[in-house]
Structure 1
Amino acid sequence: MTRSPTRRLLALALASALSAPAWAQFSATPQTSPVPQSADAFTVTDIRIDGLQRISAGTVFTYLPIERGDTIDQARSAAAIRALYKTGFFEDVSLGRQDGILVVTVVERPAINKLTFTGNKDIKTEDLMKGLKDIGLAEGETFDRMDLDGVTKELVRQYNNRGKYNVEVTPTVSKLDRNRVDVTVAIKEGKAAKIRHINLIGNELFPEEDIRESWESREHNWLSWYKRDDQYSREKLDGDFEKLDQWYLDRGYVDFSRDSAQVSISPDKRDMFVTAGITEGEQYKISDVKVSGDTVLPREQIDKMVYVKPGQIFSRRVLQATTDSITSVLGNIGYAFAQVNPVPDVNRENRTVGIDMQIVPGPRVNVRRIVFKGNTRTADEVLRRQMRQFEGAWYSQAAIDRSKIRLQQLGYFETVDIETPEVPGSSDQVDVVVNVKETTSGSFLFGVGYSQLSGITTSIQLTESNFLGNGNRVSVAAQRSSYQDRYDFSFMNPYFSDNGMALGYNLWWREFDYSDFNVAQYSSKSGAAQAIVSLPITEYDSVSGLLGIDSNEILVDRVFGSTPQEIIDYVDAVGHSTFHAWRAQIGFARDTRNNAIFPSSGTSQRIVLEATLPGSTVEYYKIEYDFSKFWPISQSLILNTRLDLGYGDSYGDDFTRTLPGGRVVTATGLPFFENFYAGGVSSQGRVRGYTDNTLGPRARSFFGTGFPQPIGGSVKTVGSLELYFPKLFDSNAARISAFLDFGNVYRDVDSFDASELRASTGIALLWRSPMGPISISYAFPLRDKPADPITGFPADETERLQFTFSGGL
């Protein structure tokens, strides 16, 4: 039978239509055939990978679920393609056949050569990089457009949560050679929306301003430029709503509820309006309190830590304080996972709540091992001797917290973090892992400094606070300025003995010419050798001692005219004399500050008695007391109260000298070259706003223009109130403060007069710059006195802008 041409054409067209999709898929490999249907399955004799650039064939074989000798059909080929796509390495995968060889053709995804963020200020780049690395979007990783789109949406969400609704995030992908791309994410943060109004609906018992007193979210106010409390943040507002719940529960309103919360935004996305509806309910009291469970400690001791008492108004804060107190005590004796579950029994008819404090101590935990990480330079021993938590001892949270503070006070580390992971397979053991980030502990300084008092100062100094990583301090220094040449060497071993005794020594030589330094006019040449010892007596207290020998050659011209006769006699007596002294010093110090550099809480106080021993050329003593306490008012404010007192006098025989011509002069009291001085920015006698060292007794000279020369005094009274703003700069190296300084020095105790205290107020900036510390203050003297036309006593020398700088290369 002969077929018609029309039927033959239809058959060819149908065959072509059925085979076209298969051939289209494998058009890139014309020498291969598509993987057959199950009816035409074949055995794989070999496997070839085509299209690889960066990824090795071995990596593909690891993920490919087909090996030589396997029989492959359409189902297995589909599974293989899915497996290779799942790796995330490829944009396209296809399978083909060349005789018995399985040909795998891939198109690799590009690698990320460089990842860059621009315009981000609110979120730090390092935080963004860390977050992206966790999801695989990092330099060197395979690029996936879907990951980038997800990151863009997440960034927009995070900025919206910070109140920035005008944020624009624009990713750009630039193709490079060798199948690489550069990814740039440009961010336009915009300005945060400001809270214009907050409204509570339903508060009938308490004023809204009292309820919102502790909230972080505030309506726009005159301090918002500093506190930024008017910037809307979803996380911050959620925290404030929790404070709202806490506020009512602390006052016994157990049935309090938030019925609604609405946040609306203005059309320009710049202003936010917050409204919350609440139901206050009734006030409840405590009906009874009982303690159940395994208390570990005697019941009487636990009862003393239960602050909730029958008859009290219910307070969640007091209840939380009770649970914290009990868990803290148990945690300090090894029960690291102790729990106290307060179970309430609410009687709504009587408006009472019964509390059952159920104690679950859990296993007593032992510290198996203490591990230090990040200390590449500092020896483990240096860190270990600061630890108050020991290996093999029961776990103590208080000991761990104290260990962290002691490590921070070393000054060797930028950050200190302590973790306590459980030992795998053991429910009663933990490891203590101390993670530190080391900072520079030594320096070689060759620099130039300047202060308004001493002018240009050149110095060279080699200091290492962590010498060879063993915690010893070594310092060699030379300094030269308009009034002094100074050479110093010091060494201190803070752990000379296992019990923490420190031992060190000082050697120095100094030549001073004070004629232009706002102190009594004289010059001196002095040298000393001293031994120092310090011994801790408690965790916070220590005693110290010093013993040394020194020689001091004083050269004085008789330049004091209209001044008390006893000062003239002293100057005449000591002029052109050399003083030899055995010097001793004993001190007591207590330091509970949480940080030695920029503390935010704690107290530091020190009392030191220094005296020349009997047999010295001049026998005298000095006693000084320094007190400083830091009060954390809030996260944005820290108050420092400081007091510095000093007193000195002679003892034993008076210093007597026969002058040329036969006149005999006698010197009594504290030698003028050991006097206290006040005024200026110096840490000793600091009263800013007054020229350095100019407060207190002064004298006129016989010669020249009668310059009023400060001569210091034997009594010092100096103090200050200083308010720090730690959040004003997003830096641990700078801080700004507002201060009120007061103080003066007096010739002796009988001369003390509180009405003569000087005072000043102003602002100050301290910046630990990479080139050295910079201190700048601008002060307004409050009690400066003008010249006295009757007595001729000159006016106070004031100086509003004062600064010091010490830098190096």
Structure 2
Amino acid sequence: MPSFFNPNSLRPIPALVALVCAAQALPALAAEPFQIRDIRIEGLQRGDPGSVFGALPFRVGDTYTDDKGAAALRALFATGLFKDVRLDIDDKVVVVVVDERSIVASVNFVGLREFDKDQLVKALKENGVGEGLPFDKAVVDRAEQEIKRQYLSKSLYGAEVVTTATPIERNRVDVTFTVVEGDVAKIKEIRILGAKAFSESTLLGELDLTVGGWLTWYTKTDRYARSKLNADLEKLRSYYLNRGYLEFDVKSTQVTISPDKQDISINITIDEGQPYVVTSVRLEGDYLGREQDFRQRVLVQPGQAYRGDDVTATQRQFTDHYGTYGYAFARVEPRTEIDRKTGQVAVVLQGVPGQRVNVRRISVAGNTVTRDEVIRREFRQLESSWYDGAKIKLSRDRVERLGFFNEVTVDTNEVPGAPDQVDLAFNVTEKATGSLLLAAGYSQTDKLTISVSVQKENIFGSGNRLGLDVNTGKTSRNLVVSTTDPYFTDDGVSRTLDLYYKTSRPLNSLAEEFQLATAGTAIRFGVPFTEYDTVFMGIGAEQNIIGTASGLPQSYVLHRNQYGSHSLSIPLTVGWARDERDNPITPTRGSYKRLNLDMSLLGDLRYARLNAQYQQYIGLPWKLTLGLNGEVGLGYGIMGRSYPTFKNFTGGGLGSVRVFEQGSFGGVDITGAYDGGSRKLNLNAELYVPVPGSGNDKSLRIFGFADAGNVWRTQNNLGAQTLNNEERGQTNSLSDLRASAGIGLSWISPVGPLKLSYGTPLRSFKGDKIQRFQFQIGSAF
């Protein structure tokens, strides 16, 4: 439980107690110095006599004085083990009489639900209340009050905590915290008073805190916390500053709670001030003789309303640009010159570069498992070179993208006595990189699927990945073993080895058992050309096995007649990917491009299979995101061979054109099986809308979609004969496109991305399989 207690608030103060008690005992200690004949300890029940003897500043045979007696009392009280200590003198024998504190035998909780018991026990023990520690009533009382304060931070204002200390044998105590948590206090009303330029509803929409709604059970945005309110006030201030209101001020905030401690009302009183328009932007100070370079990075636009975000972003651009020239501690101080009569403002940016520095040393800390070299090979900033802010940021981002760490920070430290040098400290917090996933999923096509995945992303701290994936389904089953070495060469060329066994059958196949199996192995190399671009090259070997059961699609039968039940292919792979999305799971801006070519020039099968994809995400006002996706697939039989059916593309459903059944596009074999085709086109558009009441949470979003696409068979396909091509609109042209539109829900669930959609076909043909409602876990775009 991070930062649950303030350690200083719970620490006992034995030194003060010792001084007071020692002062009180001094008159009784008045004695002539003498040589100590023996030392006895009385009153000790559980403690180790050695701990008492070790605290005494004298031994048998030493000369005893009053000063040494007072020092002994202070030392014994300082141990915190005793409630009372006194020294008696009996014929040159020093008798140490102690009254031991009770020891905490156990710490228990009754009625605890909101907090994790184990974390709470740990936090209490770290601060003086725990099993085996001395019992101190004052410390326990402070712990009780701190627990109550933590409940207040959870909006549980009616929570009661009662502490009971039960003495048991051997001077021990059981400490029990009895908690009555009560119900969570909910925000009933939020008012913003004094707003004139913008409606109250508009301003409330900028806040994360909300009144209770139908989704607040999930978002918990109707729970009050002072930290959340302060953050919302800053958002309100930023909203006005970005619209020219330079003198905006929050006059007061008033939070009231109902007598039954269930309802909270918040009143925020503001003074908008007047809006200001920027008339000019001036640069003052030292800009290294490159003032024009800096001016190109000014984001503040004269003639437009003053925007605080633009000023802050310009400061960041300037300091980053200073950093590229080695000025690690450059400052850019903005100043505004306001003319209230005209409502105009001039922005002045004062540049102070400081001294240019180089990096003396780069240290790495916090990596208890990961080897130093795994982290250091991601660095773009080198030791004994000029400080470069852009390279340092890139280095941090690359280390973070490894996925081995919860947090990566970089500290810039001055070198004492060397103002032209700095040291960089990369601090990482490691996380568990091994995972065992046992999951069950359900989709309308594959029905029940079971997945088992064992992965180790950072095996033995080497940065390598080792994985085993098992997947079962109605139309496909896979077993894949893979390993990846991201730095197969010192230049960052990666190597991936795959070993797999896959079985599949087409949708609507009459053969009830899996009659197509593919066993293979492959090796791929990834060559990074830029920070965003990677080129892939590889080669593999596949053995395709077709069974002999009745009901096989005609194309499978023809393939077996031509090549036999076992056919070999040697596919070569060439690919390219460029990923510039801000987040691969819930992107809001950026693009993703992918191009992949598989070719088999040796073996029984000769074909080429090209797949290209482009995604673009555009951030829109009101927290909306527009996502666009286009994908094209082309397959060819080459060197006089037909294109193999089991390399066909499939379409329809999630990841293709929703509302149509998964895998129902393309040709229909004369047996009725849907076996896809050698041409594919997908066009998708999604408009993501935040769920009302979810604030800035992107894990749960509503979206509207429009899809178009199809899969076509050509005469190059082996067994290209289909049923009712014309009736199904299969004329092998763009006039065959199917289209649909609808709404859906996207949720990043604990078991993977979940998409649900409901829609209607906008363009369909006779015989198309329609599924208006579709869902799948782990679905693509």
TM-score, length-normalised on structure 1?
Answer: 0.74
1:197 maps to 189
Deviation readout 1:310-365 (Å, 9 max, x if unpaired): 77655443332232222233345544443323345566677665655343444536
Q: Which amino acid aligns with 2:631?
A: L
1:609 maps to 597
1:646 paired to 2:632:
yes
1:796 paired to 2:755:
no
1:533 paired to 2:498:
no
SS of the equivalent of 1:589 reads strand
Deviation at 1:92, TM superposition (A): 2.3
Deviation readout 1:132-178 (Å, 9 max, x if unpaired): 45544455543322122122222323333443311222333344555
User: 2-side partners of 1:163 and 1:710: how far apart?
Assistant: 57
1:715 maps to 680
1:624 paired to 2:611:
yes
User: 2-side partners of 1:129 and 1:331: how far apart?
Assistant: 46
2:761 maps to which of 777, 783, 795: 783
Contact 1:522–1:556 under 8 Å retained in 2: no
1:269 maps to which of 256, 261, 276: 261
SS of the equivalent of 2:462 reads coil
User: 1-side partners of 2:251 and 2:574: how far apart?
Assistant: 66
1:153 maps to 145
Deviation at 1:715, TM superposition (A): 1.8
SS of the equivalent of 1:275 reads strand
Deviation at 1:544, TM superposition (A): 0.7
2:407 maps to 416
2:65 maps to which of 65, 71, 74: 71
Pick closer, same or farther for the CA change 1:512–1:746 going to 2, 3 Å. Answer: closer
User: 1-side partners of 2:398 and 2:561: how far apart?
Assistant: 50
1:675 paired to 2:648:
yes
SS of the equivalent of 2:413 reads coil
Deviation at 1:244, TM superposition (A): 3.7
User: 1-side partners of 2:617 and 2:43: how far apart?
Assistant: 67
Deviation at 1:541, TM superposition (A): 0.8
SS of the equivalent of 2:665 reads coil
1:697 paired to 2:690:
no
Deviation at 1:486, TM superposition (A): 6.4
SS of the equivalent of 2:430 reads strand
Deviation at 1:372, TM superposition (A): 3.9
Q: Which amino acid aligns with 1:261?
A: T
Q: Which amino acid aligns with 1:587?
A: G
SS of the equivalent of 2:531 reads coil
Contact 1:519–1:711 under 8 Å retained in 2: no
1:318 maps to 310
Contact 1:408–1:416 under 8 Å retained in 2: yes
User: 2-side partners of 1:528 and 1:581: how far apart?
Assistant: 9
2:17 maps to none
Contact 2:620–2:626 under 8 Å retained in 1: no
SS of the equivalent of 1:196 reads strand
Deviation at 1:676, TM superposition (A): 0.8
1:590 paired to 2:578:
yes
User: 1-side partners of 2:630 and 2:76: how far apart?
Assistant: 75
2:359 maps to which of 366, 376, 396: 366
1:745 paired to 2:710:
yes
Contact 1:159–1:165 under 8 Å retained in 2: yes
Pick closer, same or farther for the CA change 1:380–1:311 going to 2, 3 Å. Answer: same
SS of the equivalent of 1:783 reads strand
User: 1-side partners of 2:440 and 2:282: how far apart?
Assistant: 70
User: 1-side partners of 2:263 and 2:46: how far apart?
Assistant: 51
2:492 maps to which of 497, 500, 514: 500
Deviation at 1:608, TM superposition (A): 0.7
1:96 paired to 2:104:
no
Deviation readout 1:33-64 (Å, 9 max, x if unpaired): x8655875555736544434565556556766
Deviation at 1:215, TM superposition (A): 1.9
SS of the equivalent of 1:531 reads strand
Deviation readout 1:426-472 (Å, 9 max, x if unpaired): 664334233232324365x8999887656787898875544444233
Deviation at 1:491, TM superposition (A): 4.3
Of 182-191 and 477-486, deviating more is 477-486
Contact 1:725–1:735 under 8 Å retained in 2: no
Contact 1:774–1:803 under 8 Å retained in 2: no
Deviation at 1:616, TM superposition (A): 6.1
Deviation at 1:539, TM superposition (A): 0.8
Q: Which amino acid aligns with 2:668?
A: R
Q: Which amino acid aligns with 2:648?
A: N
2:380 maps to 388
Contact 1:42–1:100 under 8 Å retained in 2: no
SS of the equivalent of 2:761 reads coil
Which stretches in structure 1 are left out of the alignment for 5+ residues? 1-33, 656-666, 702-706
Contact 2:338–2:344 under 8 Å retained in 1: yes
Pick closer, same or farther for the CA change 1:106–1:448 going to 2, 3 Å. Answer: same
Q: Percent identity?
A: 28
1:28 maps to none
User: 2-side partners of 1:184 and 1:623: how far apart?
Assistant: 68
2:429 maps to 436
User: 2-side partners of 1:266 and 1:214: how far apart?
Assistant: 25
SS of the equivalent of 2:488 reads coil
Deviation at 1:412, TM superposition (A): 4.1
1:176-255 mapped onto 2 (5 Å cutoff): 176-255=168-247
Deviation readout 1:550-595 (Å, 9 max, x if unpaired): 454556899799x9xxx89977985857655443221110123566
Which stretches in structure 2 are left out of the alignment for 5+ residues? 1-24, 714-730
User: 1-side partners of 2:193 and 2:746: how far apart?
Assistant: 44
Contact 1:342–1:356 under 8 Å retained in 2: yes
Of 584-593 and 108-117, deviating more is 108-117
SS of the equivalent of 1:305 reads coil
Q: Which amino acid aligns with 1:751?
A: S
SS of the equivalent of 1:154 reads helix
Of 317-326 and 301-310, deviating more is 301-310
User: 2-side partners of 1:652 and 1:489: how far apart?
Assistant: 30
SS of the equivalent of 1:318 reads helix
Contact 2:556–2:645 under 8 Å retained in 1: no
Q: Which amino acid aligns with 1:272?
A: I
User: 2-side partners of 1:446 and 1:346: how far apart?
Assistant: 63
Deviation at 1:129, TM superposition (A): 5.4
Deviation at 1:542, TM superposition (A): 0.4
Deviation readout 1:761-804 (Å, 9 max, x if unpaired): 44466655xxxx57766543522989x7xxxx535153846667
Contact 1:249–1:256 under 8 Å retained in 2: yes
1:335-346 mapped onto 2 (5 Å cutoff): 335-344=327-336
SS of the equivalent of 1:715 reads strand
SS of the equivalent of 1:170 reads strand
User: 2-side partners of 1:239 and 1:278: how far apart?
Assistant: 15
Deviation at 1:480, TM superposition (A): 8.0
Deviation readout 1:5-49 (Å, 9 max, x if unpaired): xxxxxxxxxxxxxxxxxxxxxxxxxxxxx8655875555736544
User: 2-side partners of 1:451 and 1:550: how far apart?
Assistant: 28
2:159 maps to 167
